[in-house]
Amino acid sequence: MATKLTVPISEEQIRALKVGDQVSLSGVVFTGRDAAHKYMIENFIDGACPDSEKATYDLLKKGLANSVIYHCGPVVRTRDDGKYEFVAAGPTTSIREEPYQGAVISHFGLRAVIGKGGMGDKTLAACKEHGAVYLHAIGGAATLIAESVKEVLSVHKLDLGVPEAFWEIRVEDFLCVVTMDSHGDSLHDRIRAQSEAKLRDILASP
């Protein structure tokens, strides 16, 4: 049975999760991938926030605290009433955010990152230090995942492009699996080690 998590999420709830646990996530989360992460590092973390970006910083600082960022480049349509709607919302390959993710977790107080494919040692260390997890979403199920997106609340930095903007969305029962936990365990590292051991056995066979 999936553990139900509702944003805002406490550190205690995150520390209770282990690799392999299923999660059903509800609440307000933000999408953000390559350009969004680079933007956060350059404007908010590595230097003083420019005056022109202060409103966005204040919004993200409040919105991401104890919340979730989803590595996703959605397909979005505009409805007849002028509101946005997600048509597809599949996860993006997360390893591209590895240079940035640890610093973003630390600075903004994230509790979870959603994506596919896993992340590296820096992100795993940040999860352990700050009480966060990596949640693996189902690749290739973009339209199914979009059904979990019940409302598009707003979009920020649309000048980065539709896939790269920060989409503020409300999700219900977004199903994921914990594959990197706050205790230093990574399912991706386990599988990599097992695969390497199996390969060595195969190569050593006569």
Nearest-angstrom CA–CA distance, 109 and 77: 31
Task: Output the CA–CA distances (angstroms, integers) from residue 22 to 5, 34, 131, 133, 167, in the order listed.
Answer: 10, 26, 17, 12, 24
Helix locations, 11-134, DSSP H: 11-15, 34-40, 54-64, 98-108, 121-130
Nearest-angstrom CA–CA distance, 148 and 196: 36
Catalytic status, residue 37 = yes
8 Å CB contact between 73 and 79: no
Instruction: Identify the active-site residue in 37, 71, 130, 136.
Output: 37
Contacts of 89-92 with CB under 8 Å at 24 or more apart are: 89/31, 89/142, 89/145, 89/146, 89/148, 89/149, 90/137, 90/139, 90/140, 90/141, 90/142, 90/145, 91/115, 91/116, 91/136, 91/137, 91/138, 91/139, 91/145, 92/33, 92/116
Q: Any idea which residues carry the catalytic annotation?
A: 37
